[in-house]
Amino acid sequence: MPASRQQELTHFVRQECGFCHGLRLTGGLGTPLTREALKDKDFDGLVATILHGRPGTAMPGWQPHLTEKEAEWIVRNLQKGFPE
């Protein structure tokens, strides 16, 4: 994935996800998205949550804006500690 798209995705997570999950991703309306909080979570389940959301909650599906590969990149980076 090009570095420019990685920068766009980093900004996307910090802004869009940060709106509910906290600007430092430590939680808010949504649960924390820190390395510690996600270490035991299922990778494929997290990708599916990003793409399809969680019905009955405020978590939207982002599939119209993200590909599966991009969602996988986000999860990999969240699980290792998301870049600034």
DSSP letters, 9-54, are HHHHIIIIIHHHH-TTSS-SSSPP-SHHHHTTS-HHHHHHHHHH--
pLDDT score at 53: 97
Q: What is the pTM of this model?
A: 0.93
- What domains does the chain contain, in order, with CATH numbers? 3-80 (1.10.760.10)
What span, in angstroms and rounded, lies between the C-alpha atoms of 45 and 57? Answer: 16
pLDDT per residue of the chain (84 residues) written in tens, 0 to 9: 899 999 999 999 999 999 999 999 999 999 999 999 999 999 999 999 999 999 999 999 999 999 999 999 999 999 999 877
pLDDT score at 82: 82
pLDDT score at 11: 95
pLDDT score at 83: 77
What span, in angstroms and rounded, lies between the C-alpha atoms of 79 and 56? Answer: 25
Residue recorded with tokens 């870049």: 83
